[in-house]
Amino acid sequence: MTTLQWLETPCKQGVTWGVPWPRGTVAEGTTFALADGTPVQSWTTATWPDGSIKWSAHAIGPSEQPESSYELVTGSPATPAAPVQVVQTDDEVRVTSGEVTWVLKAPHLILSIKYYDQTVVQDVRLVSLRQDGPDEDLGRGRQQTTATVETITVEQDGPVRAVVKLDGKHGDWLPFSVRLYFYAGATDVRIVHSFIWDGDPDRDFLAGLGLSADVVMRDEPHNRHIRLAGPAGFLTEAVRGLTGLRRDPGEHVRQAQVAGDAVEEIPNPEVSTRLRLIPQWNDYTLDQSSVDGFTLRKRTGPGHAWVTIPAGTRSPGYGYVGGVSGGLGFGLRDFWKLHPTRLDIRNAATDFATATVWMWSPSAPAMDVRYWHDGMDQDSHAEQLEGLEITYEDYEPGFGNAHGIARTHELTLRVHDSTPSADELAEHAALLNSPGLLAVAPARLLEAGVFGSWSLPTADDQDIEARLNFLFQYYVGQREQRRWYGFWDYGDVMHTYDRDRHTWRYDVGGYAWDNSELSPDLWLWYQYLRTGRADVFRFAESMTRHTSEVDIHHLGRWKGLGSRHNVQHWGCSCKQVRISNAIYRRFFYYLTADERTGDVMDEVASVEETFLVVDPQRKVRPDVYSVDPHALSIELGVDWGALAAAWLTRWERHGDERARARLVGTMTDVAALRYGFLTGNARLDLSTGRFDTSRRSIAVSHLSSLFGLPEICSELIDLDLDVPGFEKAWLDYCRLYLLPPEQQAAEVGQPLQGISLVQAHSRLAAYAAARTGDAELARLAWRKFFIDDGDQLNRNALQREADWKTTTIDGGLMPIEEAAFVSTNGASQYALAAIQNLSLIPEHRNDRGGTAWRSPDAPS
């Protein structure tokens, strides 16, 4: 029996979640049920090497009175009273969920939506606007396109949950995929829309991207209602207003219209005989042009001026158009965070109103993804390396192209048989922006033995826990104060701080957007695993959505590779698998069963083939090398660690034998190398998936183990894949990295060069100490973690500040809280080292020499 608790508050809508299982405890084919009899649908998302279930996914439908918690047990699940049904014919897919029927038919997304036998919505479609130049070039025209669905795939067909995937293009560009999620008894559909930018940055400018739906308007104009969400409530209007008139229609009439109830009769003839003279408001727009403000306007029709409505700050991005006989609720999750966005209602005074959720607002300047500078004559690798020395940007002509980057949005459509109340609308807007999730407790996650080395917080480590919390809260505050929001930016954080300007280095080459550099994704997910905190989950979720889409090329010559940190997310010429690393996405996928994240991980399952296109070491390689499919250069840290994560994930999700063979084969070959991981680089034969093991050199990089290598090696060793020598190869690397040079030379014939980021590597020594029982190595690990050479975060904190704290800075654009000693590299690696050291060698933390920093609030 496994207890399931809500991540936040109990949720009334359909929910999907994941559960891990200890190895060998649940056989493949096991069925699951909920102890209270709630119908549940279950499937396997990963298996252990012995074939037992590692991760399962589960779904329940909506409920007006959800339980505060559930018990997941083995057994036969209950059947929904009205199962979601999927009927597929040659040219259409018909989904029925309770009272609602959805008809899907290419080239539409949704051909029609019926509530019982009444059509409420027709022709749900994707729309886009394209222009051939930036807005500053006068005279640019816009071309509107309705996207075409080319394929429809039913991925799940009930009984509790159905998933349908639709793929297509916006005319001759912007390939997209849309998944529609239906739950038994639900009147809403969750929509996950992903598109890939594949235009010419100098000629193609996206001026609008939206989802439109036509809503049947049957009611008299004064019984048609408009609702648009603000931060504290809704704009509440009717197409033909009966309030504020010179002649009073009667209090009950006015109150009924505001409440959304039917006005059956207007008793005052001074009003009822003059209805034709009351303006009908045909069009409405809510435009979230920035993170801090939206504008509202309406008009009686095309050709007439817009009338402004009082503006607001941050809209939840939800609206309703319809009448007392039915209508449509519609919205976009993270609406203001993903600005510029817009909600439109058009033709509300006609027979068909059109509701459009704009993911890129047509009011904003057209999307401009051109490279941010002219190259400054950096035409050779030598000049580019000189540029790297001053701005930390790895520039190369043609490599700063956004071709292949993607973005995913989550939307909702909900049909109604009458105008919903203000409370209902508020609830629906809240569910859109904070969708429900069931989760198991951290202790239950730990018991399952997933994700390598981590442990639960204890009362004995208040000082470290205080620092971990400080770092997380600092980044939450910085995202808000620095406005790290926007269509391409939301979810990422900045890399390095500028003390002099009191700002992050948003405009300095490689110091700007972080793009997963040194694994902030891992830090956040491990912190969630061990605490179960909803705020940590949501921050990590937004980062995963961003880094798995915007920072990766999903098609084109760099498909499967990510871009190193830069002023623009796609700007760096360093295209590497260390950024597209599947290990950063596995947490979110397994905890939520999110299919889009699964797609992204599948994209990198054979990414080693992209190494034929671009050599990540081409500018700094000391040896003579030409790309050879039978001797492909693979760095054994950042490259192999990411490849291993991709192969493992593919194998455990799909049973892919190619992935298993490459994983186990290369593990065997690393073990066979004379110096194991210390070799630094090996040659991969793509035809066999095996390394050449004859290499005898030693090459150590300070970055090799900072992009998920310790975490994936820990998982692989725990799996016990019968690869003799692999654990020893990894333990040798972990043990030797921080040892004195003379000890390194005594063991391998030379001291290791390039040793830095000492605190980050303390967790490697801790791992080796835990596996071998070496108490002196454990003491060394804690010394290097707390205060020793190369430890920038601790050194700055201890020598320049009495405590980890922020300082209020006034006099700039806005007042801000600053902790100038914090960088994302240092914060991420401090957190990962802390989490793993506490898990691996907690008994030695006070047995190391030196004095530990303690929080003023920690018990003495």
Quote the CA–CA distance of 353 and 109 in Å, as a whole number.
18
- pLDDT for position 857: 39
Phi and psi at 833, nearest 5°, equal: -65, -40
Do residues 668 and 719 lie in contact, with contact meaning Cβ atoms separated by under 8 Å?
no
Burial (Cβ within 10 Å: 0-12, 13-18, ≥19) of residue 282: buried
pLDDT mean by block of 10 residues, the chain; 860 residues:
96 97 97 98 98 98 96 97 95 96 97 97 98 80 93 97 98 97 98 98 97 98 98 97 97 97 96 97 98 98 97 98 98 98 98 98 97 96 96 97 98 98 97 97 98 96 94 98 98 97 97 98 98 98 98 97 98 97 98 98 96 92 90 97 98 98 98 98 97 96 97 98 97 97 97 94 98 97 86 62 83 92 96 98 80 37
Q: Give me the residue label for tokens 């623009």.
A: 568
Tokens of 810: 């006034």
Q: Give me the residue label for tokens 């060793």.
A: 717
Do residues 634 and 640 lie in contact, with contact meaning Cβ atoms separated by under 8 Å?
yes
- pLDDT for position 623: 83
Number of Cβ within a 10 Å radius of residue 265: 10
Quote the CA–CA distance of 646 and 638 in Å, as a whole number.
13
Tokens of 790: 């190369």
Quote the CA–CA distance of 809 and 563 in Å, as a whole number.
33
Strands, DSSP E only, in 134-201?
143-146, 148-157, 161-170, 173-183, 188-196
Residue type, 643: L
- pLDDT for position 802: 55
- pLDDT for position 798: 55
**Nearest-CA neighbor of 553 among 369, 719, 382, 793?**
369
Quote the CA–CA distance of 558 and 570 in Å, as a whole number.
11
Quote the CA–CA distance of 22 and 444 in Å, as a whole number.
10
Quote the CA–CA distance of 487 and 209 in Å, as a whole number.
11
Length of the chain: 860
Quote the CA–CA distance of 138 and 134 in Å, as a whole number.
9
Pairing between strand 93-97 and 690-692?
A: unpaired
Question: Which three-class secondary structure state does DSSP give residue 849?
Answer: coil
Question: Which three-class secondary structure state does DSSP give residue 342?
Answer: strand
Question: Which three-class secondary structure state does DSSP give residue 720?
Answer: coil
Residue type, 460: D
Q: Measure the CA angle with vertex 19, ends 15 and 24; round to 5°.
A: 155
**Nearest-CA neighbor of 163 among 11, 14, 333?**
14
Span between the terminal Cα atoms of the chain, in Å: 40
- pLDDT for position 848: 60
Residue type, 602: D
pTM of the entire structure? Answer: 0.96
> For the chain, what is the radius of gyration of the CA atoms?
29
Quote the CA–CA distance of 277 and 718 in Å, as a whole number.
77
Quote the CA–CA distance of 259 and 263 in Å, as a whole number.
10
Residue type, 131: Q
The kind and range of the H/E element at 387 are helix 381-391
Do residues 134 and 368 lie in contact, with contact meaning Cβ atoms separated by under 8 Å?
yes
- Helix segments in 749-821, DSSP class H: 758-772, 775-786, 792-800
- pLDDT for position 324: 97
Q: What is the dihedral of CA 481, 485, 489, 494, to 10 degrees?
A: 10
Quote the CA–CA distance of 680 and 631 in Å, as a whole number.
15
Q: Measure the CA angle with vertex 821, ends 817 and 823; round to 5°.
A: 90
Cis peptide before 175 (omega within 30 of 0): no
Do residues 183 and 160 lie in contact, with contact meaning Cβ atoms separated by under 8 Å?
yes
**Nearest-CA neighbor of 227 among 418, 360, 386, 483?**
418
The contacts of residue 828 (CB under 8 Å, 6+ apart) are: 518, 519, 520, 522, 523
Quote the CA–CA distance of 643 and 647 in Å, as a whole number.
6
Burial (Cβ within 10 Å: 0-12, 13-18, ≥19) of residue 409: buried
Do residues 315 and 231 lie in contact, with contact meaning Cβ atoms separated by under 8 Å?
yes
Strands, DSSP E only, in 600-712?
632-635, 681-685, 690-692
Do residues 298 and 309 lie in contact, with contact meaning Cβ atoms separated by under 8 Å?
yes
